Amino acid sequence: MSAAGRVAVVSGGSRGLGRLLVERLLGDGWKVATFSRKPSEFTEQTAAERPEDFLWAPVDLGDRAGLRAYAAAATRRFGRIDLLVNNAAVLTDQELFLTVPDGRLDALIAQNLAAPIALTQACAKVMSVRRSGQIVNVSSINAIRGYRGVAVYSAAKAGLDGFSRSLARELGPLNIRVNSVIPGFFDSGMTAGVTAENRERIRRRTPLGRLAGIEEIADTVLFVISSGASFITGQTIVVDGGITC
Ligand SMILES: NC(=O)c1ccc[n+]([C@@H]2O[C@H](COP(=O)([O-])OP(=O)(O)OC[C@H]3O[C@@H](n4cnc5c(N)ncnc54)[C@H](OP(=O)(O)O)[C@@H]3O)[C@@H](O)[C@H]2O)c1
């Protein structure tokens, strides 16, 4: 679809995959609203250089009212929402399930599942007025394969995939497509703590014999929202070099 005048909301656009998506969408002519807890050099510079096209505000995924207020602010600023990418997520340390404290368990589910669901509801209401839109939920291969130390995060991401499928049925008649993109490992702040040994293990187990470039994950998201994917909805699109095949 032509991006001119279209508006994207991307959660977690200050760095990592979210930042790259913001850059690419702006480059393609979208207006982009994004949030994170803290600004980055990228968000500050882009807000200064592209004030007509770019909105950043501090919002925490754990703040449900803040998420709804942010969707309302983006709509006031740009007049519409055509695309939501639920990109922001939290995974700091791997921890064994038997020792995950109760509060942390709640936070992981709140930030990685309840927050994107609430943000989607707020944005989809805006999309429904025009009977057109797209939602992309950034999931993880942890949703489709078991890995030690990430059980609660995995549950949240698997929940997000189920959410994508059922929502696609509900919103399809409103011409709103909903899909999950499921990345394998890529370099970002989230994976900065992965040891060289573990990176090498992932590389060896990957049929394509290398790790993903972050731009390959962004390419997949951009494909899913493109006219070339106009009949794809309710799907989980895996981009992992084949490690889960
Ligand atoms: N990296 C991987 O190997 C990998 C693999 C599979 C799936 N994924 C998924 O890909 C997506 C992007 O991950 P990434 O690796 O690019 O992550 P990242 O580099 O850690 O960036 C995360 C972004 O989300 C924001 N964020 C984090 N916690 C937040 C909170 N509580 N409230 C609001 N914003 C918050 C961060 O900004 P602040 O910290 O300032 O809030 C940042 O902008 C995530 O959904 C992740 O689960 C990543």
Tens digits of residue pLDDT in 198-234: 999 999 999 999 999 999 999 999 999 999 999 999 9
Supply the range of the domain harboring residue 196. 7-239
Predicted local distance difference test score (pLDDT) of residue 27: 97
Q: With 70 as the cut, is the pLDDT of residue 1 above it?
A: no
Q: Which helix (H) or strand (E) holds 181?
A: strand 176-183
| Count of domains forming the chain | 1
> Which CATH number fits the domain that encloses residue 129?
3.40.50.720
Residue 127 included in any domain: yes
Phi, psi of 134 (to 5 degrees): -145, 140
Residue 1 included in any domain: no
Cα-to-centroid distance, 208 and ligand 1 (Å) = 25
41-61: average pLDDT = 98
Reported as half-sphere exposure (CB side, CA atoms, 13 A), residue 37 has a value of: 8
DSSP label at 244? T
Residue 171 included in any domain: yes
Residue 45 included in any domain: yes
Residue 244 included in any domain: no
Predicted local distance difference test score (pLDDT) of residue 3: 80
Residue 2 included in any domain: no
Instruction: Read off the pLDDT of residues 23-40 as tens digits, 9 standing for 90 and up.
Output: 999 999 999 999 999 999
Q: How far apart are CA 183 and CA 4, in angstroms?
A: 28
Report the atom number in ligand 1 closest to the C-alpha of 190: 20
Q: Tell me the pLDDT of the chain averaged across its residues.
A: 97
Cα-to-centroid distance, 204 and ligand 1 (Å) = 25
Predicted local distance difference test score (pLDDT) of residue 2: 66
43-62: average pLDDT = 98
Q: Which of 3-7, 168-172, 214-218 comes out lowest in average pLDDT? A: 3-7
Q: Which helix (H) or strand (E) holds 21?
A: helix 16-27
Q: Which helix (H) or strand (E) holds 57?
A: strand 54-58
Contact 176, 132 (CB under 8 A): yes
Reported as half-sphere exposure (CB side, CA atoms, 13 A), residue 9 has a value of: 34
Residue 143 included in any domain: yes
Report the atom number in ligand 1 closest to the C-alpha of 142: 6
Residue 23 included in any domain: yes
